[in-house]
A and B are shown apart, each in its own frame.
Chain A
Amino acid sequence: MAMRCQSCGSANTKGSKFCSSCGARLKQSTKGRCPECGTFNSLRNVFCDECGARLAPAAPGLDDRIGEGSVRGLSLPRREPTPDEDSPDWLAELRSSFTEPDREETDQVQAAAPLTEGGASPVESPPPPADDDMPGWLRDISQPSDVADTSVEPGASPAVPGVGAGEVPTWLQEALEKPDSASDSRPVDDTGSPHLDADELPDWMADLSPETDQDTESEPGDLPSWLQEAGPQDTPSDIPSAADEEGAPEPGELPDRLQEARPLETPPDPQPTAAADEGADIEPAELLDWLREVAPKETSPELAPEAGMGVEIEPGELPDWLQETLAADDTAIEPDELPDWLAKITPEETAPELEVAADEDTEVEPDELPDWLEKITPEAEETAPAAEDAETESGELPAWLDKIAPQENQPDVPQATDEEPEIEPGELPAWLEESEYDDASPDSPAPLIPDADRPDGEPEKPAPPASTIPSEADTLTDWLGATAPLADSQLAPTQPMAGTGPLVPPELPDWLAAVDDSAATGLPEWLVEDDDESIPPAADSTLPTPGLAQEALPAPPDAAPPEEEADSLPSWLSQTEADFSPIDEAHALKPIAMIDEPSITGGEARVAPAGLPDWLASLDSLAELEELAEEAAPETLDRLPADGEAAPVEPELPQAAIPEWLQALKPKELVDDVTGAGGAAGLEPAETDGLLQGVRGALVAEAIVSAPPATRAPTRLAVTEQQQAHTKALEQIIRPGLAPKPPSTAALPAWERLERAAIPIIVFLAILLPTFLGGSPLTDGDASAVPPPGITDTFNLIERMPDSALAVVAFDYSPAEAGELEPLSSILVRHLMSRGARILAVSTTPTGSEIAQGVFDKLSDDYGYVYGTDYLNLGYVPGGAAGLQAFAATPWRLFSGADYLGITRASRAAQAASSLTDSLADADLILIVTAARDDLAAWIEQVGRLPDMEKVGMAAGVSAGLEPWVRPYYQSDAPQLSGLVSGIPGASQYEFLINQQYSLRQSHAATNVRDGQTVGLAAVSLMIAAGLVWGTASSLIDRRRGNG
């Protein structure tokens, strides 16, 4: 589709920014304008294509608006809710505050990007939403009454092979078995570190560490359908079926998205690292699809190849976060087995820590070290002592760590600052330097676990080792730069490494302290608190990386053995499709929030303060959400204990209901499917243009209203400059005549006065010249005149009249035209009198009768005509055309009274003129002398067209100005006028014919006027020519003088 330029209307290629014709900036067809850069984006864009800024803000109250229903013609058009709209408001706000640098990059690091936000500013994050803003499933989570029976079903789902006791997350088990917040069921190894048991691995982690799924026999179909459908459709195809693969696949076998997510420095064949745990019983197929989508984006390059390989998790096969966990668990991780991307996260200072861990469990072979570690190792070996002796200088610590430093004085926090490796400030990444820790004094780092955030009576949590804190900022790539805060955020207080002593409090940020605080109680702080407590704002940012946070949880003193934790797998996860029970949408959403809950270490039941995960936001349509909601949801998730205490077991849970806001989000097509209203066939067409492009269900009325008007924009006629000039000239001519002009009091210049007087004088003299000369010098007399056909026809028409013929002469002219027409009428009447015809004079103008009477008075005596006997003046014929028609039909009826002279018909009964019969057709000739076209046309149309008038000859003597109008009546195939005489020239020529025919009574009246007119016309023509010459000469002279 072409875009039309709004300036010139030219069609341009879609996507063009400027018009190819006029260069004007084109408005994109899409209406989404980025508030940051102004780029127009597609309406479906959530983020700007140009700058990555968020485009679609959270739509507060959208559920309310949609829930009102679509009343055609009244309500707003319903649009398919975007993933952002599916999110709660508070989550939308969090999303809106996050700006991704690039859309593609965002897609690649979809899981990591939000964590960047949370990791960067956990303290300054917006306050948790109020209870009203919290979705129902979140409120349900905090219900302590729902927790009781969630932990009592070890291996509740026999349909999931291999999922035994370890299926229950430890945090759940802890919450159920050890309501005491201080208790921690996470297993602890010999060194006191929490033992990372594969059974404790959450499903999402199982996806990240496929090796743990070797023993798992469950098929993909074992996954609940809602889990299978929850993930992206392409996920199953993108992720290799790790359960059947032997050995690590080649990089080329990795899905594209995994390869994209893979760091550039990732070695093609990462070496396995120390196994962190054993007995991972969950097959990748059992993993949630969304976990496949989310988690592998950070670790899939390393994890996917090892999916489903061995029981034991090789360190190198574990993701970085897991390796860090393993390191925290005293699991030896060989540096060279770490993936390259971990090298970006793992700072140089981390290397010693890893080595320290390796000293206890695993020896790191130099050859096994990856490249990045080889680069780091020498320096790390030089600068970083063992974990026990590691002493981090204040100046070397990252800024955010320096700000945490004052917390080392906290009595509850182990003082291990001297054991931390030194971190140079310059080594910090930019995001760390720009973090909110800048607000704190570098000399007084904030405590890792603030006292205020720590529950009363809660034992002090050991700080995580410094090795878990990434500080290798220089080696971080961009995408890792975005994920680095995530790594930091996930570096929640970990249990002290074996032999490393307590963690250094300054190494932990404040928000981690809060997380740790909640972790110590088995539940996050936002869950521990009352229902009215709001959700931590950083929840959304820590969505898909629970393991990193979980690994940092300190091991409880009374951690449960791994065997017991194996039973802590959520029942919802172990259920199959057949076991699903109707669950409302709210419950269906709970697993989303509980994604982070399973703890790697299995020690604590920690629910990540997460809102809707990205996978939910990335749902293509709400239909998927509906399907997800219809599927089974973990029943145990809404039974989480509050404050770490196991809620009383409720034998019967209240029937859940779909929240109204979720009902409102249900697509129309789903409703139609349910109600049978139409299904797919009933889908309303999607909008193809405008703001609602791509939106289904838009009201028809909206389309009509928003449609451009059908009427074409008013167009203007093409007016040329010449026409405009003519218009202005005409306006200049007319306008002064329209407005009253006061008499000019200013005296005209002498030249103008002379000119104004000279012209009429010249004309007067020219007109009088023939009079004084006795003839016109410009004419040779009457003999030279050749009468035109109209004159001769008129003359012959009168000459052919029988004796005593009746001629009707119409004097239809006013005294104003008498100067031209009176000589003509006089010569015609003279000819009639010469022929002895009876004359009947009429007039269609009031003044014509008097003029006719004057002509008769002048000529009657010469020809001995007597009024009433030879001629009769009937006077004025009223009624215009109708009067003429009536006069032609019944002439005497019209003149039933007195004639022009007041003589009644009765008195003139014996007169000759009364011989006129009842019809005008009895006349022999009709002569019309007029200066008005309408008068002549009325005679021709109303009288001449009568059937009986064909035998009556009709001739006209008209003014010279009327001749062009009248000539078609005479000069045609069927002439309506038998003769035509026009103006003084015609009268003169006719006079010439009469004088020749009737020499006894010579007349020169018309000829005299013609002579004067000819000379005067010549004088006028000469003056006009002289004026043109004068004007041209003046213009030329002025131009030569430069005045023009």
Chain B
Amino acid sequence: MAEATIQALGVALGFVLTLMIYSYLLGDNPLYRLAVHVMVGVGLGYAVVVIIYGVIVPQLIGPFERILTGEAIEAGERIQVVAAVLAVFLLLKLSPRTAPLGNVAMGFVMGVGSAVAVGGAVLGTLLPQVSATSLALVPGSEPSVLPDQSGLANVLAALVVVTGTITSLLYFHFAARPVGRDRVQRPGWIVVSAQLGHAFLMITFGSLFAGALIASLSVLTERVQFLIWAPGEILRLLNLG
């Protein structure tokens, strides 16, 4: 089968599946469900294939194969043996009897992953962001919040950022003092700060929702344009048009 035909079938399949998905606008129907199941199944199957052929085979089986065949391997590939053993122990988690044997491998994965994630979050996000925001409050610092504005504007902008950050955090401060027998109330300054933080949160969530809406609308636009473009492309690929 010619490549163009395959491409034409692919475009046609995409066209059909897109229509099946949009059929939900008329209500829940088998076509929509079928399209959803196909999308999930194809996506998972594709991921499995990618992992097998992109990770397991080249990075796990390849070194063993080279070792068995006597080919030269790199120094770093020898450690893949340890990773392979840990991977085997992870498979033992599938059975309740052998699950404890996989705890070491699971602990290794979780420990390494957590350490990497926490370290990266602290050193890569938290500290840089805090320092950048605090430095913005220093008049003599380099303006970065509003690079094109003056120092005062940047200080004010940084002040807004700091205020928004603190008040947003205070919004989630739920400690309160008991008032009377069965009522509690947060301190007044926390209540006021929380209200301001609540406003910042609403603005942030509104921005996120707007971005999500625009993103969704962009996808819709791309799909609608695809629906308009697909028939002609199919005909072009099939040399029918």
Contacts of A882 in B (CB 8 A): 112-113, 116
A1020 vs B225: C-alpha distance when bound (angstroms): 17
CA distance A764 to B125 in the complex (A): 41
For the complex, what is the distance from the CA of A713 to the CA of B51, rounded to whole Å? 56
Q: Which residues of B contact A900 (CB under 8 A)?
A: 54
Known A-B contacts A9-B180, A760-B22, A847-B47; the reply to A964 vs B207 at CB < 8 A is yes
A820 CA / B184 CA spacing, docked (Å): 48
- Cβ-neighbour of B76 out of A771, A890, A968, A984 (below 8 A): A890
Other-chain contact of A894, B59, B128, B220 (Cβ < 8 Å): B59
- Quick one: closest B residue to A824, CB to CB? B218
Per-residue contact bits, chain B 127-148, to A (CB 8 Å; 1 contact, 0 not): 0110111011000011011011
Q: Does A574 contact B (CB under 8 A)?
A: no
Residues of chain A within 8 A (CB-CB) of B120 are 881, 885, 937-938, 941-942, 945
What's the nearest-Cβ distance from chain A to residue B67, in Å?
13
Asked if A707 CB lies within 8 Å of chain B CBs, one says: no
Interface pair B55/A876, CB less than 8 Å apart:
yes
Which residues of chain A are within 8 angstroms of B218 by Cβ–Cβ distance? 819-820, 960, 983-984, 1009, 1013
Q: How many whole Å from B177's CB to the nearest CB in chain A?
A: 9
Please report the number of residue pairs spanning A and B whose Cβ atoms sit closer than 8 angstroms: 220
Which residues of A have CB within 8 Å of B222?
A: 818-820, 822-823, 1009
Distance (whole angstroms) from the CB of B125 to the closest CB of chain A = 6
Question: Closest A-chain residue to B29, C-beta based?
Answer: A743
From known contacts A743-B28, A964-B204, infer whether A881 and B117 are also in contact, taking CB-CB under 8 Å.
Answer: yes
Which of B58, B183, B221, B226 has the most chain A CB within a 10 Å cutoff? B221
Q: B176, A1013: Cβ atoms under 8 Å?
A: no
Given contacts A767-B221, A878-B55, A1009-B225, contact A941 B50 (CB under 8 A): no
A973→B25 contact, CB < 8 A: no
Residues of B within 8 A of A940 (CB): 124-125
- The answer to the question of B121 belonging to the interface, with a C-beta cut-off of 8 Å to chain A, is yes
With A756-B25, A1017-B214 as given contacts, are A972 and B133 in contact (CB-CB < 8 Å)? yes
B182 touches A716 (CB 8 A): yes
Q: CA A756 – CA B225 in complex, angstroms? A: 21
User: Are A717 and B184 interface neighbours, CB within 8 A?
Assistant: yes
The residue on A at minimum CB distance from B141 is A973
Residues of the B chain whose Cβ atoms lie less than 8 Å from the Cβ of A893:
74, 76-77
Q: Nearest chain A CB to B82's CB is how many angstroms away?
A: 14
A5-B228 Cα distance, complex, nearest whole Å:
76
With A and B bound together, what is the CA distance between A971 and B147 in angstroms?
A: 8
Cβ-defined contact, B211 with A959, below 8 A: yes
Most buried by A among B22, B25, B141, B178: B25
B124 touching A976 by the CB < 8 A rule?
Answer: yes
Q: How far is the CA of A760 from the CA of B63 in the complex (A)?
A: 54
Judged by DSSP, the binding face of B is helix
Is B202 positioned at the interface, with any CB of A under 8 Å from its CB? no
> Complex: how many Å from CA A131 to CA B53?
105
Q: A718 to B113: give the CA distance in the assembly, Å.
A: 41
Instruction: Report if A58 contacts B (CB, 8 A).
Output: no
Among A771, A814, A897, A982, residue most surrounded by chain B Cβ atoms (within 10 Å): A897
Given contacts A713-B181, A760-B25, A819-B219, contact A789 B57 (CB under 8 A): no
B34 within 8 A of A: no
The answer to whether B43 has its CB under 8 Å from any CB of chain A is: yes
A713-733 CB mask vs B (1 if < 8 Å, else 0) is 101111000000000000000
A898 located at the interface, meaning its Cβ lies under 8 Å from any Cβ of chain B in the complex: yes
B116 lies within 8 A of A815 (CB): no
- Cα separation A931 to B211 with both chains bound (whole Å): 11
Q: Could you say which of A789, A815, A897, A931 contacts B62, with CB atoms under 8 Å apart?
A: A897
With contact pairs A713-B181, A976-B128, A1009-B221 given, residues A849 and B50 touching in the complex (Cβ less than 8 Å): yes
Number of interface residues of B (CB under 8 A): 72
A580 to B228, CA, bound (A): 128
Bitwise interface map of A from 848 to 882 toward B, beta carbon under 8 Å scored 1, else 0: 01100000000000000000000000011010111
- Is A735 close to B, CB under 8 A? no
Task: Check if A847 sits within 8 Å of B131, measured CB to CB.
Answer: no
CA distance A713 to B184 in the complex (A): 12
Q: Are B225 and A768 in contact (CB under 8 A)?
A: yes
Contact with B along A809-823 (1 / 0, CB 8 A): 000001111111011
Please, which residues of chain A bring their CB within 8 A of the CB of B135?
A: 973-974
In the complex, per-residue mask of A725-768: 1 if CB is within 8 Å of any chain B CB, else 0: 00000000000000000011000000000001100100110011
Q: In the complex the two chains form, what is the Cα distance from A895 to B184 in whole Å?
A: 59
Tell me the complex Cα distance, A878–B59, Å.
10
When distances are taken between beta carbons in the complex, the residues of chain B under 8 Å from A757 are: 25-26
Residues of chain A contacted by B53 (CB below 8 angstroms): 902
Centre residue among A715, A817, A975 by max chain B CB count within 10 A: A715
Query: Which residue in B59, B124, B212, B217 is a CB contact (below 8 Å) of A1013?
Result: B217
Contacts of B47 in A (CB 8 A): 846-847
B144 and A975 contacting across the interface, CB-CB below 8 Å: yes
Q: Quick one: closest B residue to A895, CB to CB?
A: B58
- Whether a CB of chain A sits under 8 angstroms from the CB of B166 is no
**Contact between A974 and B224, CB atoms less than 8 A apart:** no
Chain A positions 965 through 980: 1 when the CB is less than 8 Å from some CB of chain B, otherwise 0: 1001101111110000
Task: Check A974 against B132 for contact (C-beta < 8 Å).
Answer: yes
Chain B residues closer than 8 Å to A388, beta-carbon distance: none
Q: Is B223 an interface residue (CB 8 A)?
A: yes
With A and B bound together, what is the CA distance between A723 and B155 in angstroms?
36
Quick one: given A716-B183, A972-B144, A1008-B225, are A931 and B215 in contact (CB under 8 Å)?
Answer: yes
The CA-CA distance from A151 to B218 in the complex, in Å, is 126
Chain B residues in 8 Å Cβ range of A898: 57-58
> Once the chains bind, are A814 and B43 in contact (CB under 8 Å)?
yes
A1002 located at the interface, meaning its Cβ lies under 8 Å from any Cβ of chain B in the complex: no
Chain A's nearest CB lies how many Å from the CB of B186?
A: 9
- Residues of B whose CB lies within 8 Å of any CB of A are 22, 25-28, 43, 46-47, 50-51, 53-55, 57-59, 62-63, 74, 76-77, 112-113, 116-117, 120-121, 123-125, 128-129, 131-133, 135-136, 141-142, 144-145, 147-148, 174, 176, 178-185, 204, 207-208, 211-215, 217-226, 228
A residues contacting B by CB (< 8 A) are 8-9, 712-713, 715-718, 743-744, 756-757, 760, 763-764, 767-768, 771, 789, 814-820, 822-823, 846-847, 849-850, 875-876, 878, 880-882, 885, 890, 893-898, 900, 902, 931, 937-938, 940-942, 944-945, 959-965, 968-969, 971-976, 982-985, 1008-1009, 1012-1013, 1016-1017, 1020
Supply 29 A–B pairs (Cβ within 8 Å), ascending by A: A715-B181, A717-B176, A756-B25, A763-B220, A815-B43, A818-B222, A819-B218, A819-B219, A819-B221, A846-B51, A847-B43, A850-B50, A876-B55, A878-B55, A881-B113, A895-B58, A896-B58, A896-B59, A896-B62, A937-B120, A961-B214, A972-B132, A973-B145, A974-B131, A984-B214, A1012-B221, A1012-B224, A1016-B221, A1016-B224
Q: List 13 other contacts, CB 8 Å, given A960-B212, A971-B145, A976-B128.
A: A713-B181, A715-B182, A744-B27, A756-B26, A768-B225, A817-B215, A819-B222, A819-B223, A931-B215, A940-B125, A941-B121, A968-B132, A971-B144
Closest 3 CB pairs of A and B: A897-B58, A941-B124, A941-B120
